[in-house]
């Protein structure tokens, strides 16, 4: 693994809040805190996994990094340059560096445009090459994601392709401008297992052969373990744990991470009710907003600290960071 060690992406204290509008009949809306002061760094050449369930904010994080949405607080830097607030020409230049593969291959390709049109669009927007050289580049891109022979696919429309093929087209499109950084937002959640395996291997190839740094957003710890060098666990907009993938999964320190691992179906081992080491069966009713996000469901939590303050990520040794008062005991 050829990580140059230097961070290519820095996220500093980023928050994103969605305000719900107060309606005539609805009364004052409650603001939703999608991300709450997230900080992390991604190194060049690594595949970094962001793991969380629905509502964790992981997709929002991805969208902020590629500037599809604006942060409310904090800053994001890529190669030392701020990403937040980019507009116009500078935004367009940024798009050549950072790309995204979307979750739903059935929706991320324009149904009215052929594969050739879709994959060559970034080239024509950035005025790279001319019509015939673009077509050659598209052919190369399709071959590299396993759609061979590429001429079979150039003039087809998305609805004639399977989900796995469509996702490969999406990857080809994302890669055609040779970006340095690619975010894959749950790229396989709509695909079957054997097709997902093909996609994972393409992502690995991208890193191994082209040194593309990747942020892999997923709800599956198993997939994160397979693909990622380091992972971070997100819960309700806050980072709970961060470290080497094997470390975090083999030796989880945060009660939430432990609960996620406890919840996984154990291959072939049967059916008594699972023993959760850290999850309560009923949520606590007395949780306060200022306390730890996981407090309502945590069986290890202590009223005295966990409900009064939010823990921050701290190194528990070996670059394995945990945000939990109890793990620091």
**CA 274, 280, 282 angle in degrees (round to 5)?**
110
Tell the residue number behind the tokens 């690619």, with chain if given: 182
73 or 106: CB nearest another protein? 106
Helix or strand run (H / E) with residue 308 = none
Helix or strand run (H / E) with residue 324 = none
The Cα-based distances of 229 to 42, 171, 212, 302 in angstroms read: 10, 21, 13, 33
Does the protein bind another protein through residue 304 (CB under 8 A)? no
Region near another protein per CB under 8 A, out of 21-29, 136-144, 270-278, 317-325: 270-278
Tell the residue number behind the tokens 């690995």, with chain if given: 204
Does the protein bind another protein through residue 58 (CB under 8 A)? no
The least CB distance from residue 102 to another protein, in Å, is: 5
Does the protein bind another protein through residue 84 (CB under 8 A)? no
Does the protein bind another protein through residue 269 (CB under 8 A)? yes
The least CB distance from residue 250 to another protein, in Å, is: 8
The least CB distance from residue 308 to another protein, in Å, is: 25
- Choose, by CB under 8 A, the member of 23, 27, 80, 271 that binds another protein: 271
Residue 35, classed as helix, strand or coil, is strand
Q: Across-strand partners of 314?
A: 322
Does the protein bind another protein through residue 109 (CB under 8 A)? yes
- From the CA atom positions of the chain, what is the Rg in Å? 21
Region near another protein per CB under 8 A, out of 22-30, 89-97, 302-310, 314-322: 89-97
What is the rounded CA–CA span in Å between residue 231 and residue 221?
Answer: 9
Does the protein bind another protein through residue 54 (CB under 8 A)? yes
Does the protein bind another protein through residue 200 (CB under 8 A)? yes
Residue 115, classed as helix, strand or coil, is helix
Q: Across-strand partners of 231?
A: 49, 243
Does the protein bind another protein through residue 270 (CB under 8 A)? yes
Tell the residue number behind the tokens 């049109």, with chain if given: 117
The least CB distance from residue 162 to another protein, in Å, is: 7
What is the rounded CA–CA span in Å between residue 69 and residue 72?
Answer: 10
Q: Which long-range contacts (CB under 8 A, 24 or more apart) does 126-135 make?
A: 126/92, 126/95, 126/96, 126/177, 128/177
73 or 276: CB nearest another protein? 276
Does the protein bind another protein through residue 1 (CB under 8 A)? no
- Choose, by CB under 8 A, the member of 2, 31, 155, 309 that binds another protein: 155
Applying CB under 8 A, the residues found at the interface with another protein are: 53-54, 66, 68, 91-92, 95-96, 99-100, 102-104, 107-113, 121-122, 125-126, 152, 155-157, 159-160, 162-163, 170, 173-174, 192-198, 200-201, 219-223, 225-227, 249, 259-261, 263-271, 273-274, 279
């Amino acid at each position: 693994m050829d990580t140059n060690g230097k961070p290519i992406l820095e996220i500093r204290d980023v928050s994103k809040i969605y305000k719900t509008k107060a309606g005539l009949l609805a009364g004052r809306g409650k603001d939703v805190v999608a991300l709450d002061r997230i900080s992390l760094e991604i190194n060049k050449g690594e595949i970094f996994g962001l793991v969380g369930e629905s509502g964790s904010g992981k997709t929002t994080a991805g969208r902020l990094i590629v500037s599809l949405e604006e942060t409310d607080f904090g800053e994001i830097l890529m190669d030392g340059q701020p990403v937040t607030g980019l507009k116009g020409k500078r935004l367009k230049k940024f798009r050549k560096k950072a790309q995204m593969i979307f979750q739903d291959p059935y929706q991320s390709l324009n149904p009215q445009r052929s594969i050739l049109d879709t994959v060559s669009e970034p080239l024509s927007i950035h005025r790279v090459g001319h019509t015939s050289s673009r077509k050659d580049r598209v052919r190369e891109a399709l071959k590299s994601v396993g759609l061979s022979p590429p001429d079979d696919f150039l003039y087809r429309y998305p609805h004639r392709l399977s989900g796995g093929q469509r996702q490969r087209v999406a990857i080809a499109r994302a890669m055609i401008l040779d970006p340095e950084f690619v975010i894959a937002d749950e790229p396989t959640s709509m695909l079957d297992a054997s097709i997902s395996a093909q996609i994972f291997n393409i992502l690995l190839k991208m890193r191994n052969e082209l040194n593309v740094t990747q942020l892999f957003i997923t709800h599956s710890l198993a997939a994160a373990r397979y693909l990622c060098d380091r992972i971070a666990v997100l819960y309700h907009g806050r980072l709970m744990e961060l470290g080497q993938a094997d470390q975090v999964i083999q030796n989880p320190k945060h009660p939430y991470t432990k609960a996620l691992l406890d919840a996984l179906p154990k291959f072939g081992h049967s059916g008594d009710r699972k023993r959760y080491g850290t999850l309560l069966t009923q949520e606590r009713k007395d949780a306060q907003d200022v306390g730890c996000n996981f407090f309502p469901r945590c069986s290890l939590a202590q009223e005295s600290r966990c409900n009064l303050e939010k823990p921050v990520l701290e190194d528990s040794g070996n670059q394995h960071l945990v945000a939990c008062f109890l793990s620091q005991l």
